[in-house]
Chain A
Amino acid sequence: MLAMNYRGPYRVRADHKPDPVIEHPGDAIVRVTRSCICGSDLHLYHGLVPDTRVGTTFGHEFVGIVEEVGSGVTKLKVGDHVLVPFNVFCGSCFFCQRELYGNCHNTNPQASAVGGIYGYSHTAGGYDGGQAEFVRVPMADVGPTVIPADLHEDDAVLLTDALPTGYQAAEMGDIAEGDTVVVFGAGPVGIFAAKSAWLMGAGRVIVVDHVEYRLDFVRRYAQCEVINFREVDDMALHIKKMTDWLGADVCIDAVGCEAAGNAMQTIAGPYTMLQAGSATALHWCINSVRKGGNVSIVGVYGPTFNAVPIGNALNKGLTLRMNQASVKRHLPRLIEHIQAGRIDPKQIITHRVPLEEVADAYHIFSSKLDNCIKTVLIPPSARQTRAVAATALN
């Protein structure tokens, strides 16, 4: 099969690799019809996540057709069109019973802090991901969700991570009616967090970034105010001024370990790896939120040491909540929102790229070229299938 192949920092290519096989009775093999490049894939692409091995296939956002099922699979059938949450989870362990599917204890032998994630390094279980023609999907009766007939495939692929993560970010902020919500980061997750904040009754939503085209996009898509932090002397001071010197009720970190905006953080983080990425967005969250406010973190940080202003968080009496999104928990409600027209996720897709051009796709997304917000990769087998279907229709 053709699959994305990681060769080292900033280097990927499309390569032929062996097809995945059923390794466990609960497995399925899914033929991928669409996969996305996620902002958190860029942390892998840039070599910031430990135990990212050469030869790995990334891709934790994908949809496809079930091609084969293991002997223990009872609910999923060959031919089902499924969206696959980015978490690999069992549904039955201590954590899954508490709906913490992102923290499953049965799918990642290599770290205790995080559950299994498709194509997200051996620190997240060492599973190959969906930027390929085929992918092994463990616990096929538990993870995948059959895509409702009236749901567009492009919406479905955004339900595997970006939208649920943005939604959970807003939910963890515990937004009350009229709250002022500041979202740091205007990538796909930040965009969806802003949109979700309105669904939860925010009175004001402000998004912070430094890339103008992303700010333009989020202003239009999520009807929010925007701030370009390059035009602001001091972020926390600016938010205080905007909020009658109190601070925002809720701050959301949708950036993670590659935040720009503070040279010292950038040097200590991504450049020298003295800490697990630059914690600039996290600093701004803690320092911009009002006393007694809520900080919600979904930006991905590496697993080593980080300099975090925990003293401020204590003195301000903050509530900090954070997690990898437990996608499966959010799907029923988010599918309702899409079907009711409250949110139209597929509008954020700006690029559709053949899997063969994965290197260019990563470079465009990573370097924020060509007004890229979200990239979908389409494998050759999916294109052929569609061409055959179109021929049959004619």
Chain B
Amino acid sequence: MSHHTHEHGHDHEHGHGRNDLAVFQHGRPPVDRSAIQGWGADLDRKNRPAYPMERMPQRLDAPLTQPDQQPQHVEVLVSPERPHMTPLFGSPQPPSGLSGMLRRAAFRSTENDVRHWLLLLLADRVNVVEGLAEDLARGHVPNIFAEMGIKAEWEHNRVGLAKKVAVAAAVAGVGYYLLKRRSER
């Protein structure tokens, strides 16, 4: 990046005050603004998309009525902090199994309650095990290494992969040794 110097080329067209203070504060020459494509195009706040504000008429040509209610075919959990079903919602992955029970329990407390989030995180972990069981139940043995992107690791980070394998082998080795020692005792 090139810079104007203080002696020549300092652009004063933008006035004094803030700009001069900025230069003084930082003890460095100002940036060559002409080298930056579009510099200051949105300096005037009217060129910014503006802070959120209610406009009449609305900026979007959207109906001011409540959208129609989406038919509900699956269980959807609802936050106690807005206890009515929204007109629109996502329907995939309805709660099911043990993770579903945990999620239902989570939704008995509000978003303001930390138990809500911790129960959901617990449900997520239980759900991972359920996902493995579901895969196996339909005869699919998941290739966990492929799912974790082992091919990319092999292509782009062989040293890192070797280290991880070495650490895993060491941990497994130590574990095996400890177990063996206990069984020999």
Taking beta carbons and an 8 Å cutoff, which residues of A are in contact with B? Answer: 7-13, 23-26, 47, 50-57, 72, 88, 90-93, 96-100, 105-113, 116, 122-123, 125-128, 138-139, 141-142, 167, 171, 176-180, 196, 198-201, 203-204, 223, 242-244, 246, 249, 273, 276, 302-305, 326, 328-330, 332-333, 337, 340-343, 357, 359-364, 366-367, 369-370
Contacts and interface: CB of A to CB of B under 8 A. Distances in A.
Interface string B30-68: 110001111111110001111111110011101111111
Interface in B66-86: 66-68, 70-71, 76-79, 81-82, 84-86
Given A198-B39, A367-B153, A90 B87 contact: yes
A92 B67 contact: yes
B147 A7 contact: yes
A109 B64 CA distance: 20
Contacts of B22: 178-180, 203-204, 249
B43 A23 contact: no
Interface residues of B, number: 95
Contacts of A370: 152, 155-156
Contacts of A72: 68
A140 B153 CA distance: 39
Contacts of A139: 62, 67, 88
B88 A243 contact: no
Contact of A177 (B19, B76, B86, B130): B19
A128 B74 CA distance: 15
B139 interface: no
14 contacts: A8-B128, A50-B124, A51-B106, A54-B130, A99-B54, A109-B89, A112-B81, A141-B62, A177-B40, A204-B22, A204-B26, A367-B152, A367-B160, A370-B152
A332 B38 CA distance: 16
B173 interface: no
B130 to A, nearest CB: 7
A159 B126 CA distance: 36
Contact of B76 (A8, A26, A126): A126
A127 B70 CA distance: 13
Contacts of B25: 180, 243-244, 246
A13 B140 CA distance: 13
A99 B111 contact: no
- Residue in B28, B41, B54 with the greatest tally of chain A CB atoms within 10 Å: B41
Contacts of A92: 62-67
B146 to A, nearest CB: 6
Given A55-B92, A138-B70, A139-B67, 13 more contacts: A9-B128, A11-B142, A23-B71, A47-B124, A54-B93, A54-B128, A107-B87, A112-B111, A122-B90, A244-B24, A328-B60, A340-B38, A370-B156
B127 A54 contact: yes
B8 interface: no
B77 A110 contact: yes
Contacts of A54: 93, 127-128, 130-131, 134
A342 B37 contact: yes
B53 A98 contact: yes
Contacts of A177: 14, 18-19, 40, 43
Given A11-B147, A96-B60, A303-B117, A364 B152 contact: yes
Given A51-B120, A90-B67, A367 B157 contact: yes
B52 A110 contact: no
Smallest CB-CB A-B distances: 9 pairs: A363-B149, A91-B62, A342-B38, A126-B90, A201-B43, A8-B128, A54-B131, A127-B90, A50-B120
A7 B131 contact: yes
A273 to B, nearest CB: 6
A129 to B, nearest CB: 10
Given A88-B88, A128-B92, A329-B49, A359 B148 contact: yes
